[in-house]
Amino acid sequence: MKKYDFPKGFLWGGATAANQIEGGYKEGNKGLNIADVLPGGKERYNILMKPGFDFEIHEDQFYYPNHEAIDFYHRYEEDIALFAEMGFKAFRMSIAWTRIFPNGDETEPNEDGLAFYDRVFDELQKYGIEPVVTISHYEMPLHLVKEYGGWRNRKVVSFFERYAKAILSRYKNKVKYWMTFNEINSGLVMPINGLGFSYQSEEDKYQPTFQAYHHQLVASAIAVKACHELIPESKIGCMILFAPVYSYDSNPENVMYAMQEEQLFNYFCGDVQVRGEYPAFMNRYFKEHNISLDIQEGDLDLLKDGTVDYIGFSYYMSRTEKKVKSDADSSEGNIIGGVRNPFLETSDWGWEIDPEGLRISLNKLYDRYQKPLFVVENGLGAYDKEEEDGSIHDEYRIDYLRGHIKAMGEALEDGVGLMGYTSWGCIDMVSMSTGEFSKRYGYIYVDKHDDGSGTLKRKKKKSFHWYKDVIESNGEIL
């Protein structure tokens, strides 16, 4: 098999988010956040995709899987020891805003929450694993959603600033790699977890969405600036959900449509965070959708001063677009939409599998920005089967990951600058979009099920041993 030349010091590892692994949702004075009110199962998907969510807990009707998640809050030592056994160089995790500021608008941080992450970072350091920390991963304090209307409200920028500065100063000697908002562009399709509000109806979405975006982009720039000042040797990135958009065919109308969708979804936020200004194509979009942004004095300077050092992005699938779609074109399951691509297979959840699309994405992003790239999420959500002897032979996951690592190897040969790869869900956890435990991504199996049953016991899958070899050989053994 062809051998790839991954750079020395390449950050191999795995990725998680606080709300999907920690549990302990009321421990250590933690406040409630958005993920705590999202039920498991199909209901969650409907909530994320449709207007009119009430942000309340209805325990009589639903199960809330994030409340206990996989109990990383109490089991982090065991989990980190397993990551170390695989040879992780980096572990991507997020800090739950509500552990530090339980309601979001307090003036002083919560010491219990700060101390928890101290313990986690110390544990990682023990094994020489670099933490890569997302400041906000779909975990906005619920109080800010209910009392302030989420990111629509300018006041949230200062609350976020206080939170970001509290963690940057506390962990300045422990964390070198940071990212501001997880999949910042996802708010365009899932405003609830990204922007902290639900539309009342499809019609009224444009103005509030882009005003909320403006606030979030300013907040991101403030955090980047603060990070550079407080931790001069650090690197702080943006984090974009990147799904390259293909035109369905060579009809120029479809090509243009695919290009516009790519600009809006894949590039708008990144352009602001990397280049420090709104891209020209947004002017026309704002005009055509009657969007008029309230930009305060100093905001545009802040955007200029707070540009990121690297581009973190998630890659799961590509998207194929056609200007006029018929019902038969539907790509149901491909979470970011588009039409069915006849050349691609899909996962158990209907997400289109496209390793070549990762090489395409890396080339597109590097051509556009010429800044280091970091694949901070990629992986296969699949049903796993325990054999009679308890073993799990997840060859399908190994195939998926191998294909995507090869694509990174090819992109490196294309000349792309790539600093690391933290595959998603290095340990099984709650799925973001469906709240299921059965949608498993991990190298480590967790005995926890969709109805909440299970012992939470951890065990190694076949992919655990495979990934260990990949890391040990710096990507030579695939």
**What residues line the site for ligand BG6 (CB under 6 A)?**
17, 20, 182-183, 241, 314, 377, 381, 424, 431-434, 439
Closest CB to ligand BG6 among 243 and 408?
A: 243
Count Cβ neighbours within 10 Å for each residue of 264-291 and write b for 16 or more, e otherwise: bbbbbbbbbbbbbebbeebeebbeeeeb
Closer to ligand BG6 at the Cβ: 34 or 405?
34
What is the smallest separation between the CB atom of 222 and ligand BG6, expressed in angstroms? 22
The single residue of 377, 388, 413, 436 carrying the catalytic annotation is 377
- Rounded to an integer, what distance in angstroms lies between the CA atom of residue 17 and that of residue 397? 20
Residue closest to ligand BG6, measured at CB: 433
In the complex, the smallest distance separating the C-beta of residue 33 from ligand BG6, rounded to whole angstroms, is 13
How far apart, in Å, are the Cα atoms of 459 and each of 286, 330, 456? 51, 38, 10
Q: How far is the CB of 350 from ligand BG6 (least distance, A)?
A: 11
Active site residue 476: no
Q: Read off the tokens for 84.
A: 């170390």
Report the phi/psi class of residue 23: left, alpha or beta, with left for phi > 0 and alpha for psi in -120 to 50.
left
Output 104 or 312, the one with its CB closest to ligand BG6: 312
Q: Which residues contact 293 (CB under 8 A, 6 or more apart)?
A: 210, 211, 214, 286
Supply the minimum distance, in Å, between the C-beta of residue 379 and ligand BG6.
7
Closest distance to ligand BG6 from the beta carbon of 433 (Å): 3
Which of residues 17 and 478 has its CB atom nearest to ligand BG6 in the complex? 17
154, amino acid identity: R
Residue 454 exposed, middle or buried by CB count within 10 Å (0-12, 13-18, 19+):
middle
Nearer to ligand BG6, 303 or 427 (CB): 427
How far apart CA 244 and CA 227 sit, in angstroms, is: 30
The span from the first CA to the last CA of the chain, in angstroms, equals 8
Least distance (Å) between residue 38 CB and ligand BG6: 11
**DSSP β-bridge partners for residue 90:** 13, 130
Name which of 240 and 302 has its Cβ closer to ligand BG6.
240
| Phi, psi values for residue 212, rounded to 5° | -60, -40
**If you search the block for the tokens 């939470």, which residue do you land on?**
456
Enzyme catalytic residues: 377
